[in-house]
Chains A and B, each alone.
Chain A
Amino acid sequence: MLAALLAMSAIAIVLGAVLGYSAIKFRVDGNPLADKIDAVLPQTQCGQCGYPGCRPYADAIANGEADINLCPPGGEEGIQKLAELLGVEPKPFGSDAQPKPKSVAFIDENTCIGCTLCIQACPVDAISGAAKQMHTIIAAECTGCELCLPPCPVDCISMLPLEENVANWKWKYPVYALRPSK
């Protein structure tokens, strides 16, 4: 009886030690699910979801605090991907969060007074300029988040939808008549 008890306790202590050690040794920093969600999100950092950036939204989804249909820049496809990742049903966007065509900000340089407010608002440092110097958008880095629009005191920033050109043109989904036209 005693031998059995001792043996069981010894096993429990050894296993406990192994578990405790591996919990320290192989500790995963951060939430791996949030990382995966963050990889799906479009990284516009626009805050349209109500969170201050893509990472906080990913954390909120991972913790079950936020819905998956709050990211308009990700589009329907983003919802689809999130639903697949989380094993839930995809749901449509709410009426107040509809996807818009992808655009980039444009500063009307004749009107810009060089106040730097938009530079401070840009989440991806895509505006170059200095105090009392004209500002300009680095179009290649602009995510189209529109966060620079409200702070501008002279309303000199507008959003230009990205135009289709020869370089970014895509082949269309084939459409053909099932019956030949007469």
Chain B
Amino acid sequence: MSALFKFHGGVHPPTHKTESTATPITRLPLPARLVVPFRQHAGDAAIPIVKPGDHVLKGQLIGEPQGFVSSAVHAPTSGVIEFIGPHPVAHPSGLPDICAVLIPDGKESWIEKVSVDYRNTPIAGLREHLRMAGIVGLGGAVFPSDIKLRPLRGHSIQNIEVLILNGAECEPYITCDDMLMRERAAEVVRGGEILRFMLGAGKVLIGIEDNKPEAIAAMRAAVQAEGLPFEVAEIPTLYPSGSAKQLIRVLTGREVPSGELPTDIGVQSFNVATAYSVARCFEQGEPMLSRIVTVTGNVTQPRNYEVLLGTPIADLLAHSEPKTDTRGYLMGGPMMGTPLPSTDVPLVKASNCFIAMSDALFPAPPATLPCIRCGRCADACPADLQPMDLYWFARAKDFGKTQSYHLFDCIECGACAYVCPSHIPLVQYYRFAKSEIRAREQDKLSADRARERHEYREFRMEREKREKEEKLRAKERAAQATKPAATGEVPTASDAAAEAQRKIQDALAQAKAQAAEAQPRNTENLTPEQLAEIAEIEARRARIRELAKSDVEAPKE
């Protein structure tokens, strides 16, 4: 057992974990309707490749990844695509996003599952496989896993010494990773071995908080049974030890420098649920179609469910029977979660927990008072920041200052707001400042691009003007060169008229040639469908012209 280390700060909120661990993971029955968002991961939304009316099989690709940071989206069951378009999603804004509505046929007919022998496949192929299987980090950030296994520009991945499997699950109420490790430890461990193989890491540490003795025992047994040299580390329960950088600190004593990645210090970490889906992906050939989610709080049946992605949250909540005094739901935990905008949204890869709120469990916070600069937030901050200073700067919208105080090292864990005696919603300020800064950076990028395009346009127009002038001059020179040959006699009036006539003819010919050149070129070699389409458009135009004419003429009659 290697030595454990401490990170700065941290808090001990009541864990509320035992409520939802009494019953095993329950499989939710197939809902009547699934709503599958195309943006379930960090990065760009996937591009739909199916149409309404298409019949899809369970596990069939319905959204192709687009861009570098993106991931695939699959049909969670077999059925018919009813609709593709905007639908409310589980996002703090409550705004709609592009989704596919799938009506299950109840047969659960699978695509052909192909397992992959990962030891005899090139690593790049394995990464592509993960991308196309929609494997993303299930710890909450839903960052595509293939990118974490890829050498990035300016960052190394060659010398990964330690792979960490994150089973800390430090946030109160959430128990989905706990139950997964208790019940499916063998697959988690095998997934960890695949990730270790892909990274070429030497050592594998599995970090689990000591309030989950059953999970620790199950994981130790699985490691032994698989005969792997992994170490299951029992770490003290302290929020937020499950945050990647804090867990790395606890397990290895190394600190990820500001602005760098864990791979820069030879460590990479994955959530245990991600490792589980990696194992399912390679061993069974199953893409990511479901996840385990905790439903707890003010419900009569708090427990964990295995739920198909896209299941409406209302269906899920109904199974746990929320009590009558429930006044709303949280998605995520009580520290970092956000209120669920509506229960008419689907479950996505990021949904790890839904908590029913009642006034008894989550009393309204006391009135917010002015900051007294007591410094308790700085004592609690696990990222070693000065939350009160960040608060003052964010409040004053002094974004440059927030950045120089390392706002982007803030993990939004909420420890500062938890200890604040003035009950200031600190994290809301940090989130506000971060999104404002990101928007400004985006604006700056597009302004730079607009400048570049504008300058190039100016340059191009200048060049075209110059070229035209040069052509004209060359023509004049040529005309002058031919003229002297003709001039031997005195030009007569008829000659001058003929010359003028010739010039007019030349100009006409040139204009005709130019007109011919300007003929659209993309009207040749068309397919019959395109021709039909053109005919249809022409017919429409003729009709419009006809209508316009009759409109104009009508009053005259």
Q: Which residues of A contact B (CB under 8 A)?
A: 38, 41-45, 53-54, 123-126, 130-133, 141, 143, 164-174, 176-180
User: Which of chain B's residues have a CB closer than 8 A to the CB of A126?
Assistant: 453
User: Which of chain A's residues have a CB closer than 8 A to the CB of B95?
Assistant: 164-166, 169
CB distance from B496 to the nearest CB of A (A): 37
User: Which of chain B's residues have a CB closer than 8 A to the CB of A178?
Assistant: 367-368
- Chain A CB within 8 A of B401 CB: no
With CB as the reference atom, state the residue of chain A lying closest to B97. A166
Q: Are B447 and A42 in contact (CB under 8 A)?
A: yes
- Chain A CB within 8 A of B349 CB: no
The docked-state distance in angstroms from the alpha carbon of A165 to that of B45 is: 12
Q: Are A45 and B454 in contact (CB under 8 A)?
A: yes
Q: Are B457 and A123 in contact (CB under 8 A)?
A: yes
- Chain A CB within 8 A of B100 CB: no
Q: Which stretch (B301-309, B429-437, B480-488) binds chain A?
A: B429-437
With CB as the reference atom, state the residue of chain A lying closest to B423. A176
With CB as the reference atom, state the residue of chain B lying closest to A122. B457
User: Which of chain B's residues have a CB closer than 8 A to the CB of A123?
Assistant: 454, 457
Counting from the closest, the 6 A-B pairs by CB-CB distance are A174-B428, A171-B431, A43-B450, A43-B447, A170-B435, A124-B453
CB distance from B455 to the nearest CB of A (A): 8
Picked from B92, B368, B450, the residue with its CB within 8 Å of the CB of A143 is: B450
Most A C-beta atoms less than 10 A away, residue of B429, B448, B454: B454
Q: Are B432 and A165 in contact (CB under 8 A)?
A: no
With CB as the reference atom, state the residue of chain B lying closest to A181. B364
User: Which of chain B's residues have a CB closer than 8 A to the CB of A172?
Assistant: 432
User: Which of chain A's residues have a CB closer than 8 A to the CB of B497?
Assistant: none
- Chain A CB within 8 A of B39 CB: yes
CB distance from A112 to the nearest CB of B (A): 12
- Chain A CB within 8 A of B91 CB: yes
The docked-state distance in angstroms from the alpha carbon of A58 to that of B436 is: 25
The docked-state distance in angstroms from the alpha carbon of A38 to that of B454 is: 13
The docked-state distance in angstroms from the alpha carbon of A132 to that of B522 is: 11
**Known pairs A54-B454, A180-B364. 12 more at Cβ < 8 A?**
A38-B451, A41-B447, A43-B450, A43-B451, A54-B451, A125-B457, A164-B93, A166-B89, A168-B442, A174-B428, A177-B368, A178-B368
User: Which of chain A's residues have a CB closer than 8 A to the CB of B435?
Assistant: 169-171
Of residues 441 through 463 on chain B, the ones whose CB sits less than 8 Å from some CB of chain A are 442-443, 446-451, 453-454, 456-457
Q: Known contacts A132-B520, A174-B428; is A42 also within 8 Å of B97 by CB?
A: no
Q: Known contacts A42-B443, A165-B97; is A171 also within 8 Å of B457 by CB?
A: no
Interface string of B355-368 (1 = CB under 8 A from A): 00000000010111
Picked from A53, A131, A143, A180, the residue with its CB within 8 Å of the CB of B366 is: A180
User: Which of chain A's residues have a CB closer than 8 A to the CB of B447?
Assistant: 41-43
Q: Known contacts A125-B457, A177-B367, A178-B367; is A170 also within 8 Å of B436 by CB?
A: yes
User: Which of chain B's residues have a CB closer than 8 A to the CB of A132?
Assistant: 520
Q: Known contacts A124-B453, A130-B520, A141-B450; is A170 also within 8 Å of B439 by CB?
A: yes
Looking at chain A's contact residues, the main secondary structure is: loop
Q: Are B367 and A124 in contact (CB under 8 A)?
A: no
Q: Are A124 and B454 in contact (CB under 8 A)?
A: yes
- Chain A CB within 8 A of B375 CB: no
Q: Known contacts A43-B448, A43-B450, A44-B450; is A174 also within 8 Å of B93 by CB?
A: no
With CB as the reference atom, state the residue of chain A lying closest to B432. A171
With CB as the reference atom, state the residue of chain A lying closest to B433. A171
The docked-state distance in angstroms from the alpha carbon of A181 to that of B447 is: 44
With CB as the reference atom, state the residue of chain B lying closest to A120. B461
Q: Are B449 and A141 in contact (CB under 8 A)?
A: yes
User: Which of chain A's residues have a CB closer than 8 A to the CB of B436?
Assistant: 170
Q: Are B425 and A174 in contact (CB under 8 A)?
A: yes
The docked-state distance in angstroms from the alpha carbon of A131 to that of B450 is: 24
With CB as the reference atom, state the residue of chain B lying closest to A102. B443
User: Which of chain A's residues have a CB closer than 8 A to the CB of B448?
Assistant: 43
Of residues 319 through 344 on chain B, the ones whose CB sits less than 8 Å from some CB of chain A are none
CB distance from A172 to the nearest CB of B (A): 7
User: Which of chain A's residues have a CB closer than 8 A to the CB of B91?
Assistant: 166, 169
The docked-state distance in angstroms from the alpha carbon of A177 to that of B365 is: 11
Q: Are B518 and A124 in contact (CB under 8 A)?
A: no
CB distance from B367 to the nearest CB of A (A): 5
Q: Are B431 and A176 in contact (CB under 8 A)?
A: no
Q: Known contacts A42-B443, A42-B447, A174-B432; is A169 also within 8 Å of B457 by CB?
A: no
User: Which of chain A's residues have a CB closer than 8 A to the CB of B92?
Assistant: 171
Q: Known contacts A143-B450, A166-B39; is A124 also within 8 Å of B457 by CB?
A: yes
User: Which of chain B's residues have a CB closer than 8 A to the CB of A42?
Assistant: 443, 447
The docked-state distance in angstroms from the alpha carbon of A43 to that of B453 is: 10
The docked-state distance in angstroms from the alpha carbon of A126 to that of B454 is: 10
CB distance from B67 to the nearest CB of A (A): 12
User: Which of chain B's residues have a CB closer than 8 A to the CB of A44?
Assistant: 450
User: Which of chain B's residues have a CB closer than 8 A to the CB of A130?
Assistant: 520
With CB as the reference atom, state the residue of chain B lying closest to A113. B541
Q: Are A179 and B367 in contact (CB under 8 A)?
A: yes
Interface string of B518-557 (1 = CB under 8 A from A): 1010100000000000000000000000000000000000
User: Which of chain A's residues have a CB closer than 8 A to the CB of B518?
Assistant: 131
Most B C-beta atoms less than 10 A away, residue of A124, A131, A178, A180: A124
- A-B contacts, 20 of them at CB < 8 A, read A41-B447, A43-B447, A44-B450, A53-B454, A54-B454, A123-B457, A124-B454, A132-B520, A141-B449, A141-B450, A143-B450, A165-B95, A166-B91, A166-B97, A167-B45, A168-B442, A173-B432, A176-B368, A180-B364, A180-B367
Q: Are A176 and B425 in contact (CB under 8 A)?
A: yes
CB distance from B534 to the nearest CB of A (A): 12
The docked-state distance in angstroms from the alpha carbon of A156 to that of B249 is: 60
The docked-state distance in angstroms from the alpha carbon of A159 to that of B367 is: 44
With CB as the reference atom, state the residue of chain B lying closest to A126. B453
The docked-state distance in angstroms from the alpha carbon of A136 to that of B358 is: 53
Most B C-beta atoms less than 10 A away, residue of A54, A133, A176, A177: A176
With CB as the reference atom, state the residue of chain B lying closest to A73. B447
Q: Are A125 and B93 in contact (CB under 8 A)?
A: no
CB distance from A129 to the nearest CB of B (A): 11
User: Which of chain B's residues have a CB closer than 8 A to the CB of A167?
Assistant: 39, 45
Q: Are B520 and A131 in contact (CB under 8 A)?
A: yes
The docked-state distance in angstroms from the alpha carbon of A176 to that of B426 is: 12
Of residues 391 through 429 on chain B, the ones whose CB sits less than 8 Å from some CB of chain A are 397, 425, 428-429
CB distance from A147 to the nearest CB of B (A): 11
With CB as the reference atom, state the residue of chain B lying closest to A44. B450
With CB as the reference atom, state the residue of chain A lying closest to B537. A110
